[in-house]
Structure 1
Amino acid sequence: MKPRQTQTSQIKLWAIIPAAGSGSRFSKTQLKQYQTIQDKTVLEYTIDRLNTLSLEGYVLAVNEQDSVARTLNFTALEKIHFCQGGTERVHSVLNALYYLTDLASDNDYVLVHDAARPCVSAQNLKELVDYCIKKDTSAILAIPVRDTLKFATEHHIQHTVSRDYLWQAQTPQMAKLGVLREAIEKALNDKINITDEASALEHAGVVVDVVQGRSDNIKITYADDLELARLILAAQQRH
């Protein structure tokens, strides 16, 4: 008699990494995902972390002028796919979802993760996946807002904003392939500003939960974030 498969073993996981942006806040000439830390690019660190999961495959959405991505030594090279990136992050993600539609089931789960977020912990990734599968839901990594928030106009504080119930969104953000694709299509058709995958799901009326992440899951946005990422990665390797 064959052993009975668990629900988790029947679920297929895919990852999407939108990597076609210009990253102008980091540099006018250099792409942040191709900066190096100890002779490895930020993007390679990011892919390493995602591949701690049992992925069916991962899709990199890159700019057609990108001459670097296909030359990198990614882990699990046999699982890598490339697709054309879009003008904005949301278009890159949708292109990758269209690409996956030919390979995967609409009921497969997709994790969308920032290319320049190399410090996400393997434990957090597992917690997010386990939560979504157990609850049969969509979810994102996020951390509670810690600092005092001020609402200000023209540099003048108008009032203090309560931190209660406020979370700072991170990635990965996880949903079923078909659900996310239809949500993004609807948001674009409705001309809704999409800042992350969760905002598209919210607009479509899909329940999205938060799974508490960690503060070291930083996104490299500005040049000095690269040094912080270097310190975090070194600390994580020591532990």
Structure 2
Amino acid sequence: MTRPLWVVLPAAGRGTRFGAPLPKQYLQVGGKRLIEHTLDALMAHPRIAGVMVAISQGDADWPGWTTHAGKPVLTCIGGATRADSVRAGLAALDAVTGEQDMVLVHDAARPNIAPQDLDALLAQQSHAVGGILAAPVRDTLKRAADDGAIEATEPRARLWRALTPQMFRRRPLLEALDAASAAGVEVTDDAMAMERLGLRPLLVEGREDNFKVTTPADLERFAFVLACKRGVSGEG
């Protein structure tokens, strides 16, 4: 049986690309904040022990939760980048997890994670390096020239889109993120930091609808998904 895991949830971003007055993780959809839907999905899984949320200094929008679904919600102060917030969250977990325990890192604005995907990822807890949820690239890929015209069609075989959660041992991931920071490399996900050290995380196929809310259209999409789920379950 796999061990329970803690989740690091980087939520210190201000969501400037979204263009809303609030950080996107606090926007309301279906009567709840977006981050609350994310917590609902994570905390419902029996293997999740708790969540460490990395928030910004002086975050006036954080609701102050200390538990969710009967499980602990801890907070720490995040950083200027996602990687900085993940590093802060990993360090703050020192009191509740071992250095070689697996941890999950998940986007606060990725609320539509399916329990089956968590099952699939957590089934790989014994992997030497860790793994990530990902989806094979199915669209045709075009490379653009400087003038905006198509320069080439790129082969999509063996290409995957990285999703979250991503699962790694706490101390090795922290060291990988520290090394990237020291080298001045801005990693765009946690797996990239591990790859820089010559490690090969496992790709675990996940659902295509595990999307991140980045634009207003994404928020509308999640509102539609939520309405469909509630319609099926008969909720009012």
- When normalised by structure 1's length, the TM-score is 0.90
Report what 1:162 is aligned to.
155
- When normalised by structure 2's length, the TM-score is 0.91
Give the 3-state SS of the residue equivalent to 2:223 in structure 1.
helix
Displacement after TM superposition at 1:200 (Å): 0.2
Q: Which has the higher helix share?
A: 1
Report what 2:118 is aligned to.
125
Structure 2 residue 20 is matched with structure 1 residue 60: no
Query: Contact conserved, 1:47 with 1:74, CA < 8 A, in 2?
Result: no
Residues 1:78 and 1:124: Cα distance change in structure 2 (over 3 Å): closer
The gaps in structure 2 that reach 5 residues or longer are none
Structure 2 residue 107 is matched with structure 1 residue 114: yes
Q: How does 1:89-108 map to 2 (within 5 A)?
A: 89-108=82-101
Give the 3-state SS of the residue equivalent to 1:79 in structure 2.
strand
Deviation string for 1:172-216 (max 9, x for gaps)? 010011111111111111222200000001001222111111111
Q: How far apart, CA to CA, are the structure 2 residues paired with 1:220 and 1:96?
A: 21
Report what 2:141 is aligned to.
149
What count of residue pairs does the alignment treat as equivalent? 230
Displacement after TM superposition at 1:31 (Å): 1.2
Query: Alignment identity in percent?
Result: 37
Deviates more, 1:26-35 or 1:81-90: 26-35
Deviates more, 1:97-106 or 1:74-83: 74-83
Q: How far apart, CA to CA, are the structure 2 residues paired with 1:160 and 1:24?
A: 32
Displacement after TM superposition at 1:20 (Å): 0.5
Report what 2:187 is aligned to.
194
Q: Letter of the aligned partner of 1:25 in structure 2?
A: R
CA RMSD of aligned residues (A): 1.7
Report what 2:14 is aligned to.
22
Query: Contact conserved, 2:90 with 2:174, CA < 8 A, in 1?
Result: yes
Displacement after TM superposition at 1:71 (Å): 3.7
Residues 1:136 and 1:234: Cα distance change in structure 2 (over 3 Å): farther
From 32, 39, 49, the equivalent of 2:41 is 49
The gaps in structure 1 that reach 5 residues or longer are 1-5
Query: Contact conserved, 1:12 with 1:108, CA < 8 A, in 2?
Result: no
Q: How far apart, CA to CA, are the structure 2 residues paired with 1:121 and 1:12?
A: 17
